[in-house]
Chains A and B, each alone.
Chain A
Amino acid sequence: MTVTTSPPRQRRSLGDLKVAMIFLAPATLGFVVFYIWPTLRGAYLSFTEYSLLSAPKFNGLDNYERMVHDSFFWNALGVTVEYVLINIGVQTVLAVGIAMLMYRLTKSITVRAVVLLPYLVANVVVALVWYWMLDYQVGIVNQALSWIGIDPVAFFGDSHWAIPTVALINVWRHMGYTALLVFAGLQTIPSYVYEAAEVDGSTELKTFWRITLPLLRPVLVMVLVVTMIGSFQIFDTVAVTTQGGPINATRVIYYYIYERAFTRFDFGYASAMALVLFAILAVISLLQLRLLRAKESDLA
């Protein structure tokens, strides 16, 4: 340990600082230029009028005032919440189900890989494949529906169906990934807990509700936080399928911000909405962690 020649006192105070600075230089450059600086600048831009063509003009709280009166903004927020609720609700239940099935039936890597496959394909690809499969006239899903006597559904064209459709497409893409997170959580539950339950004559269902689910709580909280943050930021699927339509039914907040910034060059207003989205996400993740007492495990 006493290889370096520098005096002990100096080593304790600065340590490997010099070397560390060299190793950190590129990452820090990227971090400051593309993370820290844009975060601060984004906050500033939200108080300006900025069209990208001339310098930003400070306009105080104008953007936020405008937001309050902007029915499109509230619509976008509402649509996003609807999307998030459907997406997370269905996805979490399915993921826990798949994880349980995998855990109890097979440790096969192939099964896990198949389940994960959709997650590795681009959102755009997933959106297009489903866009085709859900086509009103020649899509296979409506064909299948007609066999069982159901009228074709305009999945993307009907304003009631559009958001659930987009939400379920993304459930299809993400449920395997989420299932693997839950699966990893299941593997951390020690087997003696199950053995004890079995000795006590607990039924399969009872064991699931009374033991598995409570012990899974830390993992479930983490999964909920991660998927909720992710699903508030839905964009790609909407951008390549409905583009906000029909009649604003799928104009989610991310898409609305994008439109404001890049088709109307209303950069200041878009930044303000992005900041609100940021705040919403921060509050939600704090609430989730607090309410579900994520840090306490029932095992410890």
Chain B
Amino acid sequence: MRRELSVGRIVAWALLIVLMVLTLFPFYWMLRTAFSDNTQLPGHPSSLLPVESTLGAFKRVLGLSSVAEAQAQGGSGAAVNFWLYLRNSLIVSTVTTVCQVFFSAMAAYAFARLRWPGRDKVFALFLAALMVPPIFTTLPNFALIKNLGLLNSFAGIILPGAFMTPFAIFFLRQFFLGINRELEEAAMIDGAGHRRIFFGLIIPMSAAPITTLAILTYINSWNDYFWPLLVGQQEKVRVLTVALGVFRSQTPQGGPDWAGLMAATLIAALPMIILFVAFARRITNSIGFSGIK
């Protein structure tokens, strides 16, 4: 149905454009502030371009400027080293994603391609766990991690998410169910066992959904705040989101280090934005699927 340019359509387009500007503006403002000189910011609160553009904020946040320099530019002077937090976030997200996706894929295979008594009941039990609000399991999980002596360790941050999430299993099971059984049977006739079918057939054939799930898992894990806040407070394992919270509470009350704060948020957000830009089509297309449970 092709429609001519009507008043209604123009208004609709205008609305959509306004919405997109509203969506993008905060990102631009983050960028604009991060490149500004913090001491000059209050004088030009509505300047659309960076105020006295400088890389000072980034240097300060990445620990590349001295305490005196940082304080002169409006920073707190407290030691911040986002390189370390960046590394910690990378470790946590990578290990969580690799383990969670792999183990969930194994489980999804058992639920989708194998026949065994009680299968559907066990699967229903896994799905039911989606109902339990995270905070409810978080409290005992914290006690457990504490009793295991794993507070402030990568293991403590990573373990609860490393084995599975009900959603990941559900997501992959849907795709595995759709794979043609004849291929599997042909492989079996060739003498392939389940291990070979899983690694040589199912996984390669599901590369697309597995990648999508891995990206979503990575983003979630990167953005997670609550659990690492509880378990990973110490500098050596502190991830970016937690570091941002700490950095925010460190900024002096009188004139906060807004430029530094925005530089830090940008550093924390940038990897995910890049990941998203690279896989935008895949992620957006998966939303419709993942929502309908």
A-B contact count (CB 8 A): 287
Classify the interface of chain A: helix, strand, loop or mixed: helix
The answer to whether B225 touches A27 (Cβ under 8 A) is no
Q: Which of B38-46, B62-70, B73-81 contacts A (4 or more CB under 8 A)?
A: B38-46
- Choose among A97, A113, A172, A240 the residue that contacts B248 (Cβ–Cβ < 8 A): A240
The answer to whether A143 touches B265 (Cβ under 8 A) is no
Judge whether A271 is part of the interface by a CB distance below 8 angstroms. yes
Judge whether A300 is part of the interface by a CB distance below 8 angstroms. no
- Type the 1/0 row for A254-273, where 1 means its CB is closer than 8 Å to any CB of B: 10011001100001001100
Judge whether B131 is part of the interface by a CB distance below 8 angstroms. yes
| Contact A17:B24 (CB < 8 A) given known A124-B225, A138-B42 | no
Name, among A115, A128, A184, A285, the residue most crowded by chain B CB atoms within 10 Å (CB to CB): A128
State the interface size on chain A (CB cutoff 8 A). Answer: 102
Q: Which of A1-23 contact B (CB under 8 A)?
A: 1, 3, 13-17, 19-20, 23
Q: Which of B12-50 contact A (CB under 8 A)?
A: 12-13, 15-16, 19-20, 22-24, 26-27, 29-30, 33, 41-42, 45-46
Closest chain B CB from A216 CB (angstroms)? 13
| Contact A138:B41 (CB < 8 A) given known A123-B223, A239-B225 | yes
A219, B8: Cα distance in complex, Å: 26
State the interface size on chain B (CB cutoff 8 A). Answer: 94
Q: Which of A67-75, A85-93, A129-137 contacts B (4 or more CB under 8 A)?
A: A129-137
A20, B262: Cα distance in complex, Å: 49
Chain B residues within 8 Å of A114, by CB: 20, 23-24
Closest chain A CB from B78 CB (angstroms)? 17
Chain B residues within 8 Å of A122, by CB: 222-225, 240-241, 244, 268-269, 272
A226, B292: Cα distance in complex, Å: 10
Chain A residues within 8 Å of B280, by CB: 109-110, 113, 116
Chain B residues within 8 Å of A254, by CB: 135
The answer to whether A240 touches B114 (Cβ under 8 A) is no
Closest chain B CB from A232 CB (angstroms)? 8
| Contact A282:B244 (CB < 8 A) given known A42-B140, A113-B284 | no
Judge whether B261 is part of the interface by a CB distance below 8 angstroms. yes
The answer to whether A102 touches B135 (Cβ under 8 A) is no
A236, B143: Cα distance in complex, Å: 21
Q: Which of A98-147 contact B (CB under 8 A)?
A: 98, 101-102, 104-106, 109-118, 120-126, 128-133, 135, 137-140, 143-144
- Type the 1/0 row for B258-272, where 1 means its CB is closer than 8 Å to any CB of A: 100110010011001
| Contact A140:B114 (CB < 8 A) given known A31-B126, A261-B139, A274-B133 | no
Judge whether A278 is part of the interface by a CB distance below 8 angstroms. yes
The answer to whether A143 touches B46 (Cβ under 8 A) is yes
The answer to whether B288 touches A282 (Cβ under 8 A) is no
- Type the 1/0 row for A169-207, where 1 means its CB is closer than 8 Å to any CB of B: 000100011001101110100000000000000001000
Chain A residues within 8 Å of B284, by CB: 109, 112-113, 116, 180
Closest chain A CB from B150 CB (angstroms)? 12
Nearest A-chain residue to B21, judged by Cβ:
A114
The answer to whether B144 touches A223 (Cβ under 8 A) is no
Judge whether B9 is part of the interface by a CB distance below 8 angstroms. yes
The answer to whether B241 touches A101 (Cβ under 8 A) is no
A38, B159: Cα distance in complex, Å: 14
A35, B261: Cα distance in complex, Å: 36
Chain A residues within 8 Å of B143, by CB: 41, 45, 50, 52, 267
Judge whether B132 is part of the interface by a CB distance below 8 angstroms. yes
The answer to whether B23 touches A120 (Cβ under 8 A) is no
Judge whether A211 is part of the interface by a CB distance below 8 angstroms. no
Told that A115-B23, A128-B248, A258-B135 touch, could you supply 4 new A-B pairs with CB distance under 8 A? A15-B114, A38-B137, A113-B276, A137-B42
24 A-B residue contacts at CB 8 Å? A3-B189, A13-B117, A17-B116, A26-B103, A27-B103, A27-B163, A27-B169, A30-B160, A31-B166, A34-B159, A38-B136, A38-B138, A39-B136, A114-B23, A122-B272, A128-B261, A132-B261, A144-B46, A172-B22, A181-B292, A184-B288, A219-B292, A274-B135, A285-B131
